[in-house]
Amino acid sequence: MGGRGLRRLVIEDYLGQRARIYGGERAILIEVTPAGADAKERLAELSALAETAGVLPVATATQRRDRPDPATYIGRGKVLEILALAQQVNADTLIFGVELTPAQARNLEEFTGLKIIDRSQLILDIFALHAGTKEAALAVELAQLRYLLPRLRGWGQALSDPGGIVGTMGPGETRLEQSRRAIRRRIQALERELKEAERAREVRRARRRRFGPPEIALVGYTNSGKSTLFNALTHGDALVADQLFATLDTKVRRFFLPDNRSALLTDTVGFIRDLPPQLIPAFHATLEAVREAALIVVVLDAASPAVFEHLRTVRRVLFEDLFGPEKQRPPIIYTLNKLDLLRTSEDWARVEGLLLEAQPGLVISAKTGENLPELSQLIAELLPERSPLPASVRYH
């Protein structure tokens, strides 16, 4: 059975349409935070994720909790409170801003009778909606199946009855066991395809390293304005949308510097806190581009009150996941984007604090072009020399 057919069979038939977002759900957003965490900002991000997935948030609920309840994460009393709220606002889905265990999700669904979606499922579905290349689609499908496998279970008699069909382990194997084996086979096939794609990508990157100009990686928290800056610097046409994870496929374009040199500018997938580990393969192209870059430009949304948390997330990915203490990092420029949205004294105080913490830093507007010439000049000063690109080499 092909990957698409298997995925539809597993998600829709076997899981009763409960394993993913379909769009149009009326959802209550639930954020659980430890003492000291900013529940308001986390709810705002969860709401943006939900809206990106096509969900209509109709209510929110928060809880301060340092340790999750092993059965339902939020505890029975809070579940009853949220169930009453769901009846008032006619909600059919509960979206949690944390990752639930399979047992917690099952208990919550059985207790409430509502669809239960956690943060990881939500992000996985957004990736599935936005994957624009075959490789990205394969990586997301792999992530979805890895996430589903430990959560797969029968609904009523559908998966409890013995199968006894050709290709199974015998009459005693249930359809649930059959589906698990089918998923494992598909996972293995996807892993093989992605390894082949990775090898082909490495050949292209090796050629660029050998013959091409230096590479610059744009990185940042999702929805910080990377694609807008990419288009402004390269006169490109990368998708720009006011939503999280609008860009999933790494794009490379030529960028001309003020000193008449050229570089390759790479627009990468946006980072986000608590990224589901199943999605790491979907970030391989981005991570490779950043590791091999001669210069990194970090794009920050200076208009966001959560920008300091975004900066910490980006630095954690760069300094811990990509470049350990022993590995030399390329130069980093911090661009404080969305200057056109800075209006209040609080906004400018935030920018001043960022400039103290993120150096070398420059306040820009990728949308209006303000201070982009200064950014180009700074890039030219910090970018190392590289041999010219042969005319026969082209990038797409």
List where CATH 3.40.50.300 sits in the chain. 212-382
Cα dihedral 258→263→264→270 (10° resolution):
-60
Contacts of 386-394 with CB under 8 Å at 24 or more apart are 386/212, 386/213, 386/214, 386/294, 387/211, 387/212, 387/213, 388/213, 389/211, 389/212, 389/213, 389/262, 390/211, 393/207, 393/208, 393/211, 393/212
Assess contact for 31 and 40: CB atoms under 8 A.
no
Q: What is the pLDDT of residue 240?
A: 53
Q: What is the largest CA-CA distance in the chain?
A: 73
What's domain 1-209's superfamily in CATH? GTPase HflX, N-terminal domain (3.40.50.11060)
pLDDT tens-digit profile, the chain (396 residues):
333 433 333 333 344 345 567 778 899 999 998 877 778 888 988 998 898 888 999 999 999 988 999 999 998 999 999 999 999 999 999 999 998 988 898 899 889 989 899 998 888 888 877 776 777 788 888 888 888 888 776 443 344 444 433 334 444 457 778 878 888 999 999 989 988 887 887 777 677 666 678 889 999 988 899 889 999 998 866 555 555 555 555 678 888 899 888 898 988 877 887 776 666 666 666 677 788 889 999 999 999 988 998 999 899 888 887 776 667 789 999 999 999 999 999 999 999 999 999 999 999 999 999 999 999 999 999 998 754 433 333 333
Amino acid at position 229, single letter: L
Enumerate residues 6+ apart whose C-beta is below 8 A from 387. Answer: 211, 212, 213
Percentages helix, strand, coil for the chain, rounded to the nearest 5? Answer: 45, 15, 35
The pair phi, psi for residue 21, each rounded to 5°, is -90, 135
Enumerate residues 6+ apart whose C-beta is below 8 A from 349. Answer: none
**Which runs of E-coded beta strand occur in the chain?**
26-33, 56-64, 93-96, 115-117, 215-220, 251-256, 262-267, 295-301, 332-337, 361-363
With CA atoms as reference, report the closest residue to 163 among 150, 145, 181: 181
List where CATH 3.40.50.11060 sits in the chain. 1-209
Domain 212-382 has CATH 3.40.50.80: no
